[in-house]
Amino acid sequence: NFDEFLTPNKESSYILRVKGDSMINAGIREGDMVIAERKNNYKVGQIVIAMVDGDYTMKYLREKNGEHYLEPANEKYKNIYPTESFKVEAVVTGVVRKY
């Protein structure tokens, strides 16, 4: 079953439509649908949905000197270093693209 494959934890999963091209080098394009899962723990290196200084974004979760920051997968964008608030909302577990 395709639903069970993409969202084994339905209660904690949701789907978002991608806007922008900041994750293009990770194979995530504008218009794609990403499956995001809320979890208790997130790992550095995962692609996450995060609230940073009042805005939502999807980027790689990175850490430097004990502080988390977000890294895009497109060299034309800069890393995001939280200044006021930071919360990881979910981890991206899949991408769906329709042609």
- At 25 the three-state DSSP class reads helix
Active-site positions?
22, 59
* Integer Cα distance of 92 and 67 in angstroms: 21
Provide CB contacts within 8 A for 85, sequence distance 6+.
51, 52, 53, 54
Task: Give the count of alpha carbons within 13 A of 97, CB side only.
Answer: 8
